[in-house]
Amino acid sequence: MNSTKPLILISNDDGITAPGIQALISVMQEIGDVIVVAPDKPQSAMGHAITINQTIRLTETHLYPGVKAYQCSGTPVDCVKIAIDKILPRKADLMVSGINHGANSSINVIYSGTMSAAVEASIDGMPAIGFSLCDYSWEADFESAKPFIKQIALETLKRGLPYGTLLNVNIPVPQDKKIKGIKVCRQAQAKWKEDFDERLDPFNRKYYWMTGQFVNMDKGEDTDVWALDNDYISVVPTMFDLTDHQRIGMINQWNLNVKQKD
Amino acid sequence: MNSTKPLILISNDDGITAPGIQALISVMQEIGDVIVVAPDKPQSAMGHAITINQTIRLTETHLYPGVKAYQCSGTPVDCVKIAIDKILPRKADLMVSGINHGANSSINVIYSGTMSAAVEASIDGMPAIGFSLCDYSWEADFESAKPFIKQIALETLKRGLPYGTLLNVNIPVPQDKKIKGIKVCRQAQAKWKEDFDERLDPFNRKYYWMTGQFVNMDKGEDTDVWALDNDYISVVPTMFDLTDHQRIGMINQWNLNVKQKD
């Protein structure tokens, strides 16, 4: 790790054995020195959860030749935090998360462990990118995505990102296998309509499985959902300051104060 | 539930038995018809995690007289989702989350289960507020906060909130017990500096506890951290569109495309 190559931290939420992280590692090895700290089991939809009331395990693995890799019992965000404190010899020049098996476009960014790992790295000041492929299958084909991932990573290393901004990159799987190019987008306004599947256990007690339908309320052609539907890769500049700055003035007009007893 | 009173959904992340949710229920009962769906155990720092690979249980409880209340085995976001699908007779007029035992100001908004429950309700189109008290103790005194919470809830019911915006309300515990008033703020730019406590288990294997220091990089007097340090309640208009709209133009200047083989 005394090379002059960029230092790249990799994590994900599908776990350290996922084909997606394997593909990402292979691309990043062409660019720099790679350190992997990833969950030891699938941690999809963990959002920005962290482990504060339980212990965490961290174990070096030799899954990927030539790569320093650790599996961690915690969430994707835990992986990034423990990498920063215990593994990285210095701040990484780039953090990449994924490649997620399944889209993290639109509102999915908020549920995604893949994106939360990238957000956490970004909070710490690393340029960070979350990559997702719009194919949930463990057998998904990551090959056509690789040249784009490499180019986006190289450009991010070259340009840097302002503190507070990271990239959410989603990659479509076109029918004819030909990606049309890249669109820089905003996150489409959409939500999941819940539909909990109610069942009875062998003891006649109810339990539920969460299912749902993705509802896109946003027909804008400047959105990530539009880009993906039209065979473009979507790149959404994403931020972790959740302040709705434009509404501060409005809420200031409200009558919120209470006359207190002396 | 056939009354003309507002319908109010309550959740939290400290669990359905927490004194904080008890205090919030008592205030909301003065305003409307209350339905509670809250975790059956503490779920702090769960962020926006949802339960997709495990089953969920939902059980009616009679902890709070006159209140329809359910405990759920899932995360705070799960609670809101299952309330929407299985419990609420119609969209609630207001969703309130908390009162959290401990601050959710600044970057903590992103780790907070309390705030994520409110975010989820907001995604579904309910006016939503997360309330937190800057006191981690289970013995915290919620009394002085109650009149403010009532006023903020009433004003939110009266004014409504635009889709995409919710409120993050943090309440200080001043030394002299006197809250100075309310400040509408932005989220202070801060982060946690990780410091994992490394220990050996009885079998001589390492394990870790996550600890850390809150580092405030932001001295602005328009921030939530400043307000709380100066004995004001902070109200931060918060949003779940994570797009960094201002950077779309910048990233569009980058050289992201790849020449593909035909």
Q: How far is C-alpha B95 from the geometric centre of its chain's CA atoms?
A: 11
Q: Do B247 and A162 touch (CB under 8 A)?
A: yes
pLDDT confidence of residue A175: 84
Q: Which helix (H) or strand (E) holds B41?
A: none
Query: Measuring CA to CA, which residue among B33, B35, B46, B41 is closest to residue B57?
Result: B41
Give me the DSSP letters along B1-34: --SSSPEEEEE-SS-TT-HHHHHHHHHHHTTSEE
Q: Do B44 and A58 touch (CB under 8 A)?
A: no
Residue given tokens 């339905």 in the structure block? B35
Chain A residue closest to B114 (CA)? Answer: A49
pLDDT confidence of residue A2: 59
CB contacts, 8 Å: A77 with chain B: 47, 111
Q: Which of the residues B231, B258, B261 would you substitute to probe the A interface, choosing the one with the greatest number of A C-beta atoms within 10 Å?
A: B258
Using the Cα atoms of residue A104, residue A83, residue A126 and residue A142 in order, give the sign of their dihedral. Answer: negative
Alpha carbon distance A102, B124 (integer Å): 23
- In this prediction the pTM is 0.96
Q: Do B42 and A52 touch (CB under 8 A)?
A: no
Residue B120: pLDDT band (50, 70, 90) is very high
Q: Would you call A230 an interface residue with chain B, using a CB distance cutoff of 8 Å?
A: no
Q: Do B148 and A258 touch (CB under 8 A)?
A: yes
For chain A, the residue count is: 262
- Phi/psi of residue B44, nearest 5 degrees: -65, 150
pLDDT confidence of residue B177: 78
- B75-116 per-position pLDDT tens digit: 999 999 999 999 999 999 999 999 999 999 999 999 999 999
Q: Do A251 and B237 touch (CB under 8 A)?
A: yes
Q: Do B256 and A167 touch (CB under 8 A)?
A: no
Nearest CB to B107: which of A123, A235, A236? A123
CA B161 → CA A196, A247, B165, B236, distances in Å? 28, 10, 6, 13
Q: Would you call B160 an interface residue with chain A, using a CB distance cutoff of 8 Å?
A: no
Chain A residue closest to B60 (CA)? Answer: A206
CB contacts, 8 Å: A239 with chain B: 242-244, 247
Query: What CATH class is the domain A7-189+219-252?
Result: alpha beta
Q: Would you call A194 an interface residue with chain B, using a CB distance cutoff of 8 Å?
A: yes
Total Cβ atoms within 10 A of residue A262 = 4
Percent of chain B residues past pLDDT 90, beyond the cut: 90
Residues of chain A with pLDDT under 70: 1-2, 260-262
CB contacts, 8 Å: B236 with chain A: 242-243
Query: Measuring CA to CA, which residue among B75, B84, B10 is closest to residue B40?
Result: B75
**Which CATH number applies to B7-188+220-240?**
3.40.1210.10
Nearest CB to B208: which of A56, A116, A237? A56
Q: Do B240 and A242 touch (CB under 8 A)?
A: yes
CA B257 → CA A135, A231, B4, distances in Å? 21, 14, 57
Nearest CB to B241: which of A187, A195, A205? A187
Q: Do A57 and B208 touch (CB under 8 A)?
A: yes
pLDDT confidence of residue A174: 87
Chains A, B: CB contacts within 8 A come to 250
Q: Do B51 and A148 touch (CB under 8 A)?
A: no
Q: Would you call B2 an interface residue with chain A, using a CB distance cutoff of 8 Å?
A: no
Three-class HEC string of A85-139: HHHCCCCCCEEEEEEEECCCCHHHHHCCHHHHHHHHHHHCCCCEEEEEECCCCCC
Mean pLDDT (whole number) for B44-72: 94
Nearest CB to B191: which of A50, A124, A250? A124
Q: Do A47 and B42 touch (CB under 8 A)?
A: no
Please state, rounded to an integer, the average pLDDT across all residues of chain A.
Answer: 95
Chain B residue closest to A208 (CA)? Answer: B56
- B167-192 per-position pLDDT tens digit: 999 999 988 879 999 999 999 999 99
pLDDT confidence of residue A186: 98
Higher-confidence residue of B138 and B205: namely B205
Nearest CB to A155: which of B47, B53, B256? B256
Q: Would you call B107 an interface residue with chain A, using a CB distance cutoff of 8 Å?
A: yes
Alpha carbon distance B135, B171 (integer Å): 9
Which residues, 6 or more positions from A98, have their beta carbon under 8 angstroms from its beta carbon? A12, A20, A21, A24, A114, A130, A131, A132, A133
Q: Would you call A134 an interface residue with chain B, using a CB distance cutoff of 8 Å?
A: no
**Domain locations in chain A?**
7-189+219-252
Q: Which of the residues A168, A209, A257 would you substitute to probe the B interface, choosing the one with the greatest number of B C-beta atoms within 10 Å?
A: A257
